[in-house]
Structure 1
Amino acid sequence: MSTDVIVVGSGVSGLTTAVVLAERGLRVRVRTREAAELTTSSVAGALWWPYRIEPKELVGEWTVRSLRVYEELARRPEATGVRLVAGVLADTRFAELGPWAAEVAGLRAARPGELPAGHTEGVRARVPLVDMPVHLAWLRQRLEAAGGVVETRPVASLDAAAAEARVVVNCSGIGARELVPDPSVGPVRGQLVLVENPGIEEWLVLADGASARTTYLLPQPGRLVLGGTAEEGDGRREPDPVTAAGIVERCARIYPAIADARVLGHRVGLRPARAGGVRIEAERLPGGGLVVHNYGHGGAGVTVAWGCARAAAALVPGG
């Protein structure tokens, strides 16, 4: 075979895993049904934080390994799309964070003056905030520099892909529901509004893991990302005008200038949630081929991308 590994999926998990494998000397092809700029990863707010992801006993290691990579990439933000940005996560207790929190330099309890009105608890940190269109393009360039190839050609089945390579790495995200098939995979719909930034330099997230509505503001180059939603089981890909108006209204309560900011666009992404959490596992297919699964990252695909990529690569012979 002319290909050692076929990676299914060109989101952040697929491209990062492909980079790790290609830079270890394997011949890698990424197969995708849609270009990276059309994936859920491309519209992600992309703040590094372990949000809506399981299992907790593994997430800490994955997040810290990824953090270390992003800290290095943040030295070249224009090229990589990664910046270290300060901000506040409200309604979160510092003491209740996992052991991973000790690895985040400067992470501390927020002071009263740093919290939005009506909120009494939170944490403050300077963490990676990733401009995903730039980052995905950079990942592809890095992959191609290592000899990898990206093909916009859907995979009919894992067995079909296994006929073309020694190993298939399944990073199909929400597509794993049909491709594996894995009925425990389902969408958590996230809707965003992009506006001109009225001068906000720090990110802000109001945490409520039990609500279908979330509120956050993420300053990205050339825009301010307003969010959002976390609608479980909702596979709608079109923006909802009523939802968009609610997002702007909630964010404007915190920063009134947002109410008059010019809207630049609307985005919807389907977070690939999975009951039981992330699946990183090697499996023999009925046809005899080897597949390594790396999917089910929920709302934290960017946060764990490098940690999960290395864990998946460890299951690939020669990787």
Structure 2
Amino acid sequence: MHFLQVTPIKISQHLAVTIIMSPRVCVLGAGIIGLSCAVRLQEVLGHRCLITVVADKFGKETTSAIAAGCFRPQDAAPVSGYTGRRSAVGKDIVLLSYNQYTSILHSEEAEEAGVHKLTGYHIRYPLVGKEPFYATFLEKCRKLSESEILSVFPSLPHGCSGHLLTTLVVSPNKYMPWLAKRFISNCGKSIKRRVESFCEMWDEYDIIVNCTGLSAGQLTGDPSIVPSRGQVMRVDNSSGKHTFAYIDNGTERMPYYIWTPDYTVIGGTKLIGCTDSRVSKMTMTL
């Protein structure tokens, strides 16, 4: 759950000139979205402006640091409590993101950035007739028959659907430091600070980009911006298969595992509206 928002700015001739010549840009949030946005702004605007990342948490303190990192966009969330559907603009953003990660994959920095390909399964039940959005752009994606699914996952009930697909995995333990390194090398500035309101920033910056994730709804006062909390485990992958599997079953308990070169991620849960980032023993029993 991430979005961009530019603060209201009083229009004046002086400020208009300031924004064009040398805008002061603040990116709120230092997770994957915040750092990616900051680096992209540096690439587009160059030295025409100073980019500052402001956040109360950086690096391993962020929720991005423990994300599974498997690129698997959905048309809509499969659990109750969320009613939004991916808009045309949202789909454009997904495609832009996929192309960006693909360009990193084919670069000399792929290993350092932690971007790699992985083939695995996405299974859904009850049966879903509509093809998932990712089937329209992934390089390899094949619909599976029910017999194929049950041969791999014999404990699943009848009436399921799924795909075998090759997608991208972005390991945050490598990708986050890689982004931070690029941001700093391009003269980026970071400030550790908790922001309670946009009003605190209006005199300091001309443009504010909101990438605060869990706090976005509270910061904007918009109840339609709802977080989704997950909890995962990282385990040794020395004996694990080089694959992934997602089981979307329409509940808050969504089993999956994702192999990476450094560890295997096992999950997971999807608690809509929960902002608590502490490890929950109750969640571990789900």
TM score, norm. by length of structure 2? 0.77
Q: Would the alpha carbon gap of residues 156 and 187 (structure 1) be closer, same or farther in structure 2, given more than 3 Å must change?
A: closer
Alignment of 1:68-147 (within 5 A): 68-75=99-106, 76-91=109-124, 96-98=130-132, 101-110=135-144, 112-113=147-148, 115-117=152-154, 118=156, 120-147=160-187
> 1-side partners of 2:196 and 2:128: how far apart?
46
Describe the SS at the equivalent of 2:140: coil
Q: Which moved more, 1:121-130 or 1:73-82?
A: 73-82
RMSD in angstroms over aligned alpha carbons?
2.3
- The aligned residue for residue 266 of structure 1 is none
Quickly say closer, same or farther: Cα 1:235–1:172, change in 2 above 3 A.
closer
Higher Cα Rg: structure 1 or 2?
Answer: 2
Matched, 1:58 2:89: yes
Unmatched tracts of structure 1, length 5 or more: 247-319
State the one-letter code of the partner of 1:87.
G
Aligned partner of 2:264 among 224, 243, 259: 224
Deviation per residue, 1:252-299 (Å, 9 max, x gap): xxxxxxxxxxxxxxxxxxxxxxxxxxxxxxxxxxxxxxxxxxxxxxxx
Question: 1:30 — aligned with what?
Answer: 53
**Secondary structure of 1:185's match?**
coil
Measured after TM superposition, the shift of residue 8 of structure 1 is 0.5
Give the match for residue 314 of structure 1. Answer: none
Distance 2:201 2:280 in 1: 37
Instruction: Answer yes or no: is the 8 Å Cα contact 1:46–1:129 preserved in 2.
Output: yes
- State the alpha-carbon separation in 1 of the partners of residues 136 and 65 from structure 2: 30
> How far 1:67 sits from its partner (Å)?
0.9
The residue matched to 2:230 in structure 1 has which SS? Answer: strand
Q: Distance in 2 between matches of 1:29 and 1:194?
A: 32
Cα shift at 1:99: 5.4
Aligned length: 245
Change (3 A) 1:204 1:100: closer
Output the TM-score relative to the length of structure 1.
Answer: 0.70
| Percent sequence identity over aligned pairs | 25
Q: 1:164/1:46 Cα in 2 relative to 1: closer, same or farther (>3 Å)?
A: same
1:191 aligns to what SS in structure 2? coil
Please show how residues 206-217 of structure 1 align to structure 2 within 5 Å: 206-208=247-249, 210-217=250-257
For 2:208 and 2:202, the matched residues in 1 are separated by 6
Task: Say whether 1:11 aligns with 2:20.
Answer: no
- The Cα offsets for residues 1-59 of structure 1, whole Å up to 9 and x where unpaired, read as 87620111011111111111111223200000111321121111111011437433333
2:188 pairs, out of 148, 162, 170, with 148
Contact 1:60–1:100 (CA<8 Å) still a contact in 2?
A: no
Which stretches in structure 2 are left out of the alignment for 5+ residues? 1-17, 78-83
Check the 8 A contact 1:193/1:244 in 2, yes or no: no
Distance 1:94 1:79 in 2: 38
